[in-house]
Amino acid sequence: MTNTITPLAVFDDNYIWCIANTQQKKVAVVDPGDGLAVLDWLEASNYQLSAVMVTHHHYDHTGGIATLLERYPDIAVFGGSNSPCELINRPLIEGDTINVLEQTFSILHLPGHTLDHIAYYDANEQQLFCGDTLFLAGCGRVFEGTMEQMHLSLNKLMALPENTFAYPTHEYSLANLAFASAVEPENSDIKAAINKAQYQRQRGLITLPTQLTQEALINPFVRCHMPDVIMAAQQRVETKLHTQEQIFSTLREWKNNF
């Protein structure tokens, strides 16, 4: 495989992931919130844009598409079939596969953060572009779907092979790890992840991608079955919680006010 993955940092904490085929000099971008940033990068790299991959309709993920279509009117714009984003011209549903720059991505529907949220998973390259569903040590807010849907969507991602590399859209790692540490103060994997992320951010480095093996150890939202997480959630609401979904829901509301 000759593709490289490069993050373009835009706005306060977004990344536009650029998948570049260095032989063909072609690029696909995931969630281009800022079109001019992509065009500048393409020009500097001497690459052509060949596709846009949208995870969900929020404007910080889609706001640059119109600018990109002015320059590249014929490109594929992939996204969820139920997306309100009207610039999507290749609507996708769960189980679809697409070929982009010699990579094959399977589509996972992940309702919760929004109802149109999808992820792009390449089993060969062990890559997962997961938008605002899974973050390093965190997950997206539940805006349009139900807590149950978001919990199921995270479980769907965690059922992928554990060596999968996840590429979220936001640099939220330090804030997420601070919350993870509040939930599980004794978790040494969380402490190690904080040290690593602090080192990276102090040097202006990106903390992503993350790997599902790491998330299984540090991310409270995918650890709703772990005794320490269950205990922390129950202490938070001073109630006995009976299902993983109740634990998830308690953690998500706790994080919203953290």
Extract the tokens encoding 133.
Answer: 């569903």
Nearer to Zn ion, 21 or 176 (CB): 176
As a whole number of Å, the CA-based R_g of the chain is 18
Binding mask 59-98 for Zn ion (x = CB under 5 A): ----------------------------------------
H runs (alpha helix) in the chain: 35-45, 59-62, 65-71, 147-158, 173-183, 188-202, 212-218, 227-237, 244-256
**C-beta of 132 vs 184, nearer to Zn ion:** 132
8-20 burial code (b ≥16 CB/10 A, e <16): bebeeebbbbbbb
- CA–CA distance, 61 with 57 (Å, rounded to integer): 7
Please state the closest distance from residue 107 (CB atom) to Zn ion, in A: 18
Q: How far is the CB of 130 from Zn ion (least distance, A)?
A: 11
24 to 63: interface string for Zn ion, x by CB under 5 A:
----------------------------------x-----
Least separation in angstroms between residue 170's CB and Zn ion is 8
Own/partner pairs for 179-182, CB < 8 Å, 24+ apart?
Answer: 179/137, 179/138, 179/220, 179/254, 179/255, 179/258, 180/137, 180/138, 180/218, 180/219, 180/220, 182/232, 182/258
Residue nearer to Zn ion on the CB measure, 87 or 226? 87
Tokens 């990344």 found at: 15
Instruction: Compute how many residues bind Zn ion; rule: CB under 5 A.
Output: 2
Residues 220-249 that bind Zn ion (CB under 5 A): none
Q: Does 252 bind Zn ion (CB under 5 A)?
A: no
Q: How far apart are CA 38 and CA 15, in angstroms?
A: 11
- Minimum CB distance to Zn ion, residue 117 (Å): 8
- Minimum distance of Zn ion from residue 187's CB (angstroms): 27
Torsion, CA 133, CA 134, CA 137, CA 140, rounded to 10: -10
Q: How far is the CB of 56 from Zn ion (least distance, A)?
A: 6
> Which residues within the stretch 119-138 sit at the binding site for Zn ion (CB under 5 A)?
132
Residue with Cβ nearer Zn ion (60 or 96):
60
* Phi then psi dihedrals of residue 113, to 5 deg: -60, -50
Residues that bind Zn ion (CB under 5 A): 58, 132
